[in-house]
Structure 1
Amino acid sequence: MTLTYQAPLRDMRFVMDEWLDAASWWRDVPEWQDLDSHTAQQVLEQAARFVEERIAPLNASADLEGCHFDAGKVTTPAGFSKSYAEFVEAGWPTLSLDTAHGGQGLPQLLDVALQEMLAGANHAWLMSPGLTHGATACLQRYGSERVKRELLPKVASGEWLSTMCLTEPQAGSDVGLIRSRATAAPGTDGYFIDGSKIFISGGAHDLTENIVHLVLARLPDAPPGTKGLSLFVVPEWLAGDDAGRSRNGVHCEGIEKKMGLKGSPTCTMRFERAFGWLVGEAHRGLACLFVMMNAARLQVAMQGLGHAHTAWQRSRAYAQERAQMRAPSVPLDATVAPGQASPIAFHPAMRRILMELRAVVEGERAIGYWTAHWLDVGARHADAAEREQAAQLASLLTPIAKAFFTANGFDAASNALQVFGGYGYIHEYGIEQTLRDSRVSMLYEGTNEIQAIDLLVRKVLPDGSQALGLLLRHVRAEAQFCEESDPLVRSAGVKLRELVEAVERTTQAIKTRQAHDPETAYRVADDYLAMLGWMLLAFAWARTLRIAAPLHDSEAFYVEKRETGRFFFDYPLAAFAYRRSLVEAGCVATLPHV
C-alpha cells in the first residue's frame, strides 16, 4: 500500500506534451529554443526524486513534532533545515527566475509543477520558501537600486527567505485598517518601521541566516484606507560597516498553536524602530504587493491540487487492499472466491468517491498548468497584443483556480478519509493530516469569498466581460473541435457548448439584476466562481477525451483517461447545474441580516 507521496509524472507529461503541446510554443521563444519535452521531463524527474526522497519523509514527523519557540527564536522540525539547504544548493528556488538575476530562466509551467509536488508531499515544509518567487518578482520590479544590489540576489537564490507582513489583529482581509507606522530615518535613505503583525508564515525560523520581511505600513502624511499604505523591505539582520552585521528591530513574540501545518511557524511579529527601505512609490504599497500576491495565489491553487492528489493517491491504494464484505460486482479481470470479502475499491460507493477524486485532480492539473502557460505567454510572447490577452486570461483564471482548487482540496481530503473509514481518523495513515493541512488554503492569500468577489465584481462586470469573453472563446473553440470528432467526444463537445451558453446567459442575468440591486454580485459571487470552475473542468476533460479517444489500442493510461472523462460528464458535472441554480436564486432572493 502506497502511503508515501509519489509525483504524478506520467500525468504531468500528458498535460504538458499532449494537452498543452507546450514544447511547440517554447520553440518560438528565443530563450527556450533548446528546451524540448525530453529536457522538461528530466527536470521534473529530478524534482520528483528530490521531493519524494528528501521532503515527503519529513511530513508526518514534522506534524507530530511541530515548531519550537524559545526566547524569540524558532526551531523548525528535524530535517527541515538540512533539506532546505539541499533545496537551495540544487537550484530549485531559481527554476523559473530570469537568468539576468541568477536564475535558470525556465518556464513558469515547470515551476508550477514543482510547487504541486512540494505541496502534495509536505505542505508545511513549503510554507517558508513559498513566497520566494513572489518576493523576487516584487523586488525585481519595484525595488531601489540598492535593494536590487544588496537584497534581491540573496532572496532570489533562496539564500535568504522572505515573508509578507500584512495582517494585524484589527486588519485581516481589510488591509485599509493597518496601523503600523513608518517614519524617515534621519541621515539615511531608509525608514523606521513600528507596529505588530500576526499570522506571518516563516516570520522566524532556523532555515536561513537572514529573513527579509515585506511590510505594509503608513507614512506620517498617508491618507486613510488602502490608499495610504506603503510597502517596505525590512531585513532581520543589517550589514555593518565592518563587514559584520547587526540585529534589526524585528522580533518574534510567539508562534501559533494551529489546526494544521504544524511544521510551519506562524509568527506574531513586532517591528520596533526596524530599519527598512521603501519599495515602489509612497502610498502605492498595495500596487507593489499585488505582484507578490498574484504569484502566491496561483501557488496556493496548486496547494489545493497537491492536497487533492495526495488524498486520491492514498485512498486509492488503501481501497485496493482493504477487503470488506462482498461487492455486488467485480472487475472482469478479478476473482473473488465464494464467501471471500472484496477490496472496497470494488464497491460502488467507494468507486464513485475514487472516480470523483481522480476526475477533479486530473482536470485541475490541466487547468492549473494552462494558467501557468498563459503566464509564460504573457511574459515571453513576441507580440504585445498576444501578451496582453494572455495576461488577461491569467488574471481571470487565477482567482478561479485559487478558490476552486483549494475548496476541492479540502473536500477531496474529507472524502478520501471516508474511504479509509476509522483508520482515516488516526495519524499513521496520513489522511487526517491532509484534511487539517488543506483547510487553511481556503483562508490565506485572500479568502475564497474574496477571490469570488475579485472575479465577478472586479474582473467580469466592470470590463463588459471582455476577459470572460476571451476565455469563453477558447472553451467554445474546444467544444467545436470535439463536436467534429467521434460520438463519445462529440457528446462532450455538445455539453461543453451548452455550458458556455449557460455561463453567458447567467452572466447577463447578473448584470441585469445588478443594475437594480447592487448587492446581487456580492451575493452570488461564490456560486458564480464555482460554476466557472466546473465549466473549466469540463473544458479540460473534453480536450482530454479528444486526445485520448483515437488511441484505442494504446496503453492503459489512455483507457483510464477515456473512462474518467466519460464518468466526469455523467456524474460530477452535475455540480455545474447546481451552482448555476444557486446563482439564479441569488439573483432573485435577498439575504436577511443576522
Structure 2
Amino acid sequence: MISQDTAVRGQNAYSFDEFVAKREALDWYQDEPFLQKVVKKYTGSAYGEIHKKLLAFSPTVSSRWSTLAAQAARPEVRPYLLHYDAFNHRIDRIVRPAETLELEKGVFGEGLFSSQMPAWEGFVKRLLIHQIGEGGVTCPLTCTHGLIALLEEFPDEDHPELQEILLHTKEGVNGEFAIGAQFMSEIQGGSDLPANVLEAVPDGKNYRLYGNKFFCSVAHADYSVVTAKISGSDKVSTFIVPSWLPGDKAKEKRNNYQINRIKWKMGTAEVPTGEIQYNGALAYPIGPKDKGIAVAVGIVLTLSRLEIGIACAGFMLRAAREAKLYSDFRTVFGKKIKDYPLAASKLKQIENAAERTTAGAFKIYDLFLRLEKPLNPGLKSDRPLEMRKQLFNLRELILLQKICTTKEGVEVLREAISVFAGHGVMEEFSSLPRIFRDVVVNEQWEGPRNLLLTQIYRDLSRVADWYPPAEFVSSVLEGASQETIQSFSVQLEELLQRPVLGEVSDASIEAALDWDAFCSAFFKAYQEVALAEV
C-alpha cells in the first residue's frame, strides 16, 4: 500500500528556488568585499562619502535595473524601425521596449557626467551599471561621455548650439538628459577612417552632410559625433549632428537624414545599430578642420576603449559572483560543484581574472585622472618629456586593456557558463550568455584586436628615440620584480627588430604571433602589479 506522504508519481520536487533567492538578494557593491577594498584604496579621504553613496545606489542597479535589462533582452521586444506614420510621413521611429525606456531614464538620470558628480563616484557607478550587460543603455552612456569630452575640449563661441548640446548631455535640461552617439564607420572602411567618403558641404558657418554611415550604434541618440570630408578635401573632419532641429523632435521630423535599417547583431542587441543616409543634415564643425581622425580617435574612441575595459571588469565580477554562488548550491554525484578540484580550479581562475581586471581598470583610471588633459595629446606633444612619457603610458595601457580584457572576458564568461553546465546556456536561467555575446561584440568595437596590436607596435617604434623600450617597460611595470621587468624589456627590444608588420612570410607570421602573445602577457603582468598593490 502506498503511503499518502509519497510524492505524486512522476513529479520531481527539486527546486532552484534557494539559489534564485540568494542571487536576487545579492548587492553588487555591498557583497563584493574586493571591490570595496579597491574603492577604498583609490578614493582616499573621499572614501567615506563615496562608499555611503554607493551603498545607497547599488541595490537599484543590482535588483530593479538588472531585472529590466534581462526583460529588455527578450527577442520579441528588441528594437525595430517604423519608417512611416499613418499619414505617410517618413519618421524612422525606433521602437524600444518600455523596460529599456525606464532603465534609460534611471541610468541617465543619475547625471554620471555632471560637474556635480565626483569622478570616482561616477566611475564605480558605471562599473556597477556595466554588470547588467548592455541593456540598451551602457553603449549610449559611453558614447555620451565621448561627446561631452569633445565639446569640453573644443569650446566654440561661434556655435552657441554646441554649448546648449553640452548642457543638455552633461547637466540635463529640466531633468532630461540627452543621449550622444558616434557615427564614424562606412561600408568601404570600417575602422579605416581615412577611407571615409561622407561629404560635408559648407553652408555658412555650418555644414550639410551627404552620404552614408554603415555602422551607427545608438541610432536613437539625440546628437551624434560624425566624421566626414569637407568638399574638396581629402582629410577627415569632425562634426556634431543633432538628430532633430529645435521643435522637430515632437513632430518626428529628422534632421535631413534617414535610417535605412536596424542591424541584427550577435550581441549588444538591445541598443539599435543602424545604417544612416544623410541628405543635407545640418552639422556643426568641432575641433581643427582636417584633424578629424586625431580628434575622433584621441578623444571619443579613447574614452570608449577605456570604458570597454571598465565594462569587462564588471562582467567578470558578476560572472565570478554568480558562478561561485551556483557552485555552492548545486550538488552533483553526491558533492557540491565547488568541492571538485577541477571545478574549484576554474572558480579560482575566474575570481583571479575578475579581481586582476578590476584592479587594473582602477589603476589605469587613476592615471587618467592624475594627468592633466590626458586626451588627444598625440605622440609629438610639446609637453615636458616626463609628462609625455606618462601620457604615452596611458595611451598604450588603454589600448592594451581594451584588447586584453575583451579577449580574457570571453574566456572568463565561457568558463563561468560551464559551471552551470546545461543551465548555463539557458537564457532565462542566467544573464551570462547575453553578457558573453556582449563581450564578443565589444572585442570588435572601437578597433578590433589586430588593428590595435598594430597601433601599439607602431607607437612603440615611433617613440623609441625619446622613450626607449626598456624604460617604457620599467615605467609601466613599476612594482614588479626586476626579473619580470628585465624579461619583458628584452622581449620588447627584440620584437621591435622583427618583421611584425612586414610582408607575409613564415618569419613575419611567427613574429606577429609572438607580438600578440607578448602584449597579453605584458598587460597581465601590469594587472598583477595592480592587484598586489590592492
TM-score grouping bracket, smaller chain normalisation:
0.7 to 0.9
- Counterpart of 1:79 in structure 2 is 99
Cα displacement string for residues 312-349 of structure 1 (whole angstroms, at most 9, x for unaligned residues): 12211111111112xxxxxxxxxxxxxxx111111011
> Counterpart amino acid of 2:456?
L
1:230 to 233, 237, 259: 237
Q: How many residues were matched structurally?
A: 478
- Counterpart of 2:316 in structure 1 is 308
Q: Secondary structure at the match of 2:132?
A: helix
**Is the counterpart of residue 510 in structure 1 residue 511 in structure 2?**
no
CA distance in 1, matches of 2:131, 2:464: 36
Aligned in 2, Cα 1:471/1:51: closer, same or farther, shift over 3 Å?
Answer: farther
Normalising to structure 2: TM-score of the pair? 0.83
**Is the counterpart of residue 259 in structure 1 residue 266 in structure 2?**
yes
CA distance in 1, matches of 2:217, 2:311: 15
Instruction: Give the drift of 1:165.
Output: 0.6
> Counterpart amino acid of 2:488?
V
1:130 to 142, 165, 172: 142
Q: Which moved more, 1:307-316 or 1:77-86?
A: 77-86
CA distance in 2, matches of 1:113, 1:457: 33
> Counterpart amino acid of 1:121?
I
1:526 to 487, 510, 516: 516
**Conserved 8 A contact 2:393-2:476:** no
Aligned in 2, Cα 1:77/1:499: closer, same or farther, shift over 3 Å?
Answer: farther
2:228 to 198, 217, 223: 217
2:35 to 7, 12, 37: 12
Q: Gapped runs of 5+ residues in structure 1?
A: 24-34, 95-102, 206-210, 326-340, 480-495, 545-594
> Counterpart amino acid of 2:408?
N
**Is the counterpart of residue 500 in structure 1 residue 520 in structure 2?**
no
CA distance in 1, matches of 2:416, 2:49: 35
**Conserved 8 A contact 2:470-2:493:** no
Q: Secondary structure at the match of 2:258?
A: strand
Aligned in 2, Cα 1:516/1:56: closer, same or farther, shift over 3 Å?
Answer: closer
- Counterpart of 2:154 in structure 1 is 142
Aligned in 2, Cα 1:318/1:399: closer, same or farther, shift over 3 Å?
Answer: same
**Conserved 8 A contact 2:257-2:278:** yes
Instruction: Give the drift of 1:84.
Output: 2.2
CA distance in 2, matches of 1:232, 1:260: 28
Aligned in 2, Cα 1:363/1:222: closer, same or farther, shift over 3 Å?
Answer: same
Aligned in 2, Cα 1:400/1:475: closer, same or farther, shift over 3 Å?
Answer: closer
CA distance in 2, matches of 1:245, 1:346: 59
> Counterpart amino acid of 2:143?
L
Cα displacement string for residues 141-187 of structure 1 (whole angstroms, at most 9, x for unaligned residues): 125222432221112236211111111111102122211111012xx
CA distance in 2, matches of 1:455, 1:516: 11
**Conserved 8 A contact 1:301-1:406:** yes
| Matched ranges for 1:136-535 at <5 A | 136-145=148-157, 146=159, 147-157=161-171, 159-185=177-203, 188-204=204-220, 211-223=222-234, 228-239=235-246, 247-289=254-296, 290-325=298-333, 341-379=334-372, 388-430=388-430, 431-459=432-460, 462-464=463-465, 466=467, 469=470, 472-474=473-475, 477-479=478-480, 496-514=481-499, 520=508, 524-535=514-525
CA distance in 2, matches of 1:295, 1:266: 19
Aligned in 2, Cα 1:240/1:317: closer, same or farther, shift over 3 Å?
Answer: closer
CA distance in 2, matches of 1:468, 1:6: 44
Q: Which moved more, 1:131-140 or 1:304-313?
A: 304-313
> Counterpart amino acid of 1:142?
F
Instruction: Give the drift of 1:464.
Output: 4.5
Instruction: Give the drift of 1:477.
Output: 4.7
Q: Which has the higher helix share?
A: 1
CA distance in 2, matches of 1:390, 1:66: 43
Aligned in 2, Cα 1:286/1:43: closer, same or farther, shift over 3 Å?
Answer: farther
> Counterpart amino acid of 1:373?
D
CA distance in 2, matches of 1:516, 1:110: 41
Q: Secondary structure at the match of 1:537?
A: helix
Aligned in 2, Cα 1:449/1:517: closer, same or farther, shift over 3 Å?
Answer: closer
CA distance in 2, matches of 1:231, 1:351: 51
> Counterpart amino acid of 1:195?
G
Cα-Cα RMSD: 2.8
**Conserved 8 A contact 1:260-1:436:** yes
> Counterpart amino acid of 1:130?
T
CA distance in 1, matches of 2:65, 2:410: 21
CA distance in 2, matches of 1:278, 1:115: 30
**Conserved 8 A contact 2:155-2:163:** no
Query: Identity across aligned pairs (percent)?
Result: 19
Normalising to structure 1: TM-score of the pair? 0.75
Aligned in 2, Cα 1:468/1:359: closer, same or farther, shift over 3 Å?
Answer: farther
